[in-house]
Amino acid sequence: MAGGKIRKEKPKAPSNNYQGGISFHKSKGQHILKNPLLVDSIVQKAGIKSTDVILEIGPGTGNLTKKLLEAGKEVIAVELDSRMVLELQRRFQGTPYSNRLKVIQGDVLKTELPRFDICVANIPYQISSPLTFKLLFHPTSFRCAVIMYQREFAMRLVAQPGDNLYCRLSVNTQLYARVSHLLKVGKNNFRPPPKVDSSVVRIEPRKPQPQVNKKEWDGFLRVCFIRKNKTLGAIFRQKSVVLMLEKNFKTLQAVLASLNGVTGEAAVMDVGDQSMGMEDDDNEMEDDDEDMEMDEGQGGGGEFKEKVMNVLKEGGFEEKRSSKLSQQEFLYLLSLFNKSGIHFS
């Protein structure tokens, strides 16, 4: 422009969101591990045997996949993005690993997973909770899973009673598995870097699996963790909680009465510790521990509320808080409720 200064445009720095000509989408949780020392460390801590079939979820461009192929017998990689699938096939085509790599294209949450010995994965963080429980409830047993999570989610998985992050997710996961924190991973180890740090966690399914009704257990914990720092007495006095439990109680009475050929008020019976027999619903196990609103109104059926409170008093739980209770205490309290005919599903 006449009489003005000409600005020299600075050359744009190359984007870090590419590898091998492929762009990564943060919105899809695509953060590729770029630190080879970290990849080696994860594989080492996984304790892979030469005879292992390894499940990898979200392999991306194959940086971790290559090390897994070197360590195990076979890698089954589940990848949603068709571009990544092509990159994996291109990368290992014509190599000694090509016949030991099986790639499944699809959504891992909707995919029927094959048998495997160990799972090693850097997963999209938005599927952390449903994927964790899909693995834990996998019909065939596996030795362990070593998974990269968002750091806060990882710390919730391993949290113990009294920890700030101790929540419904902590109790649920630790019922079905032994969980341990392996290493913290800074965000600069990824391309593109996520907004938060990550952690690698080891999950070992308990054998045998605990004999609990999953839906009943999850429904019970949802109530207990409405407000984890409130006393259980305060939570179970709430009108919405009392009404929900009373409805379940009456429904179960009616079902048992119909099975016995008895109707109406003649259905007075001891329901014991029988289960509701509902189908399991794994997808409801989220990492939000305060997803039910606290109803400050007191009320509900007076006699039934007294029945609920008597259970808490019997076990010495009325003044206790969920944030401090151990897994064994939760199991014991649930058994007391069930023996009184009170159910949560």
pTM exceeds cut of 0.85: no
What is the maximum alpha-carbon separation in the chain?
100
Total Cβ atoms within 10 A of residue 180: 13
Cβ partners under 8 Å of residue 165, min gap 6: 152, 155, 156, 159
CATH number of the 24-205 domain:
3.40.50.150
| pLDDT the model gives residue 253 | 86
Residue 117 makes CB contacts below 8 A (sequence gap 6+) with 49, 51, 52, 53, 54, 72, 142, 143
Residue 107 marked in a binding site: yes
Length of the chain: 345
CA 50 – CA 46 distance, rounded (Å): 12
Cα 203 to Cα 25: distance, rounded to the nearest angstrom: 28
The 3-state DSSP class for residue 126 equals helix
pLDDT (tens digit per residue) in 96-155: 999 999 999 999 999 999 999 999 999 989 999 999 999 999 999 999 999 999 999 999
Annotated ligand binding at 204? The verdict is no
Q: Is the pLDDT of residue 276 over 70?
A: no
Q: Which residue has the tokens 């190599």?
A: 95
Would you give the end-to-end CA distance of the chain in angstroms? Answer: 74
pLDDT tens for 1-50 read: 445 455 555 554 444 444 455 555 454 545 778 899 999 999 999 999 99
Establish whether 122 is an annotated binding residue: yes
What is the DSSP code (8-state) at residue 8?
A: P
Residue 21, SS3 per DSSP: coil
Which pLDDT does position 71 carry in this prediction? 97
The residue ranges of every structural domain in the chain are 24-205, 212-257+301-344
Residue 189 annotated in ligand binding: no
- How does DSSP classify residue 283? G
33 assigned to a ligand binding site: yes
Would you say 79 is a known binding-site residue? yes
- Fold exhibited by the domain 212-257+301-344: Helicase, Ruva Protein; domain 3 (1.10.8)
Residue 229 has a pLDDT of: 95
